[in-house]
Amino acid sequence: MTATTDGSTGALPPRAASASEIHTTTPTATGAADTRDAAARAIQRATDFLLSTQAPQGWWKGDLETNVTMDAEDLLLRQFLGIRDEKTTHAAGLFIRGEQREDGTWATFYGGPGELSTTVEAYVALRLAGDAPDEPHMERAAAWIRDQGGIAAARVFTRIWLALFGWWKWDDLPELPPELIYFPKWAPLNIYDFGCWARQTIVPLTVVSAKRPVRPAPFPLDELHTDARDPNPVKPLAPVASWDGIFQRLDKALHAYRKVAPRRLRKAAMNTAARWIIERQENDGCWGGIQPPAVYSVIALHLLGYDLEHPVMRSGLESLDRFAVWREDGARMIEACQSPVWDTCLATIALADAGLPADHPQLVKAADWMLGEEIGRPGDWAVRRPQLPPGGWAFEFHNDNYPDIDDTAEVVLALRRVKHHDPERVEKAIGRGVRWNLGMQSKNGAWGAFDVDNTSAFPNRLPFCDFGEVIDPPSADVTAHVVEMLAVEGLSHDPRTRRGIEWLLAEQEADGSWFGRWGVNYVYGTGSVVPALTAAGLPGSHPAIRRAVAWLETVQNDDGGWGEDLRSYRDVAQWSGRGASTASQTAWALLALLAAGERESKAVERAITWLAETQRADGSWDEPYFTGTGFPWDFSINYHLYRQVFPLTALGRYVHGEPFAGRQATESR
């Protein structure tokens, strides 16, 4: 690897980006026949590998790797509740310590630069695990933190965790009043203006903000402040005429309101928030199937008097234990989320496109499991669509409140590939999914991930929201998956589908690519949109398709693969489509090229060869790079199954052709 200008280690953006850390072979030139033979052998190995990883119940799930803040906050939660034990602490410390970089920092993605808040939280967690501040690895971390501005420069969420133990002052944090729960849905900054993940986090945090708890600190953190005499320096306000200035002054007004807030109103608001939280607890005890809302919900309810033996609390804590992945070396990694529905539908598509018979028992078992995961009741999405009947799928094992549009589209595509023993059941489930997805179309013709028209400009302006995305606007990748699904269902000419296509065409970047909201980045967006447009009837000769093909060819690496570093979210000019070749990103580029009719092109041949020659003997691929996106740049994901399902899909389409060449669905729906 080479050093980058920001001091991190990572692949440089030029086409010569190396994947030598992952791969030991270099693709060689072969003829088309040899390429097809190599692809066929790779398909067989990859199929055998993927089939061997299916759970007995029918689902697939790869590890969902993020960064050590999940592990640090898990330890801090246990410290706050008084339940931290030696085994868990040791295992968490082992994992966090192993993720530290040579310069003493922690990054948020593989090969990325050190990140201040992540490093602060990791440092504190290691202090809880018994690492002394004068140990060399801790001294390096503390020195780097101070050099970056200390705790005062960390994000709000990090400073909230520190405030729980008196390491930061609550007065120096943005105010988040629980009365927010009473704002009507038409009012600015009501809770439904926030994306579902932010909404589930903010509601419990209003309780925490109102209560301002402080537990005894087990040790001081003076070494993380730039000035021990003034550990909480006051930052200057932005100009009053700017949006930042307006919202900063609003925050000061809310701090003043806190001192005069009617006690009965505040208590009622916190109790209403508690009811809102409890009503959204899933059957497995979690909230939204993701770790952060669960952590804050447990803290909020505990502050309101729910003891640890209360069924809600006990179930919530048990659910958090299920996010732990124990490794062979005794380390314990916390997943931010789990992705069984997403992984299962993608695995089903991959195996079917690779040539597995449609009635193969393992595909039927997967379909059975997916059918059982359909959500049959309204969730928060119904606030904006109260008349829309339910019928969708979520991302996780249990998340009935928040089905998502992307998963629903891909599950429908997966179910279409399986010859099920109860076709009537499948048709009814697909019909409900299609109806729900169509009903969740935003007014601009596109689709977001969870909600309709979740595009308010105000939430991102709040001083509290200094990390990640807090709204859920439509994106090209989600819209593309819906359009592809609608095309397969025979709805290419439906006016709603056409509006989605028009939106996608308008969103194409000047260079021919599309932005990737939920995957990294322009390679993912382009790999999602081109197959959707061609499935909907656009010919490979369409100007938008030709521009996309030309862009992909210009960013193909010299080794034949494709890669894109997460830095493309911040530096488009330098990093768009640039990075070390990865199996998943190479597959995304191939899916676009194959859909565009480029099966016989040199670019496709080189990429197929790269996939075949970098495959492991067991049929898998290695991929340490993070190619999934939670929040662009701020929160990155390594889906461990991406490296398996997408290459298999691409290889299958190369050998067997595009799926659904003879579609049986009609324009009747």
Hey, which residues are catalytic here?
A: 406
Torsion-angle region of 111 (φ positive above 0: left; ψ -120 to 50: alpha; else: beta): left
Contact between 161 and 121 under an 8 Å Cβ cutoff? The reply is yes
User: 15 is written with which tokens?
Assistant: 């086409």
Can you say whether the dihedral through the CA atoms of 575, 578, 582, 588 is positive or negative? positive
Contact between 377 and 390 under an 8 Å Cβ cutoff? The reply is yes
Sole residue written with tokens 């062979």: 328
Which DSSP state fits 243?
Answer: H
User: 462 is written with which tokens?
Assistant: 């709040």
Element (H, E) at 120: helix 116-128
> Which residues have CB under 8 Å from 235's CB, separation 6+?
152
**534 to each of 299, 313, 501, 511, 551, how far by Cα in Å?**
49, 50, 10, 19, 17
Rg (CA), the chain: 25
Residue 158, phi then psi, degrees to nearest 5:
-65, -45
Contact between 157 and 467 under an 8 Å Cβ cutoff? The reply is yes
Contact between 609 and 669 under an 8 Å Cβ cutoff? The reply is no
Residue type, 128: L
CA–CA distance, 256 with 180 (Å, rounded to integer): 16
Contact between 68 and 635 under an 8 Å Cβ cutoff? The reply is no
CA–CA distance, 188 with 369 (Å, rounded to integer): 40
CB burial readout 583-622, b (16+ within 10 A) else e: bbbbbbbbbbbbbbebbeeebbbbbbbbbbbbbeeebbbe
Residue 316, phi then psi, degrees to nearest 5:
-65, -45
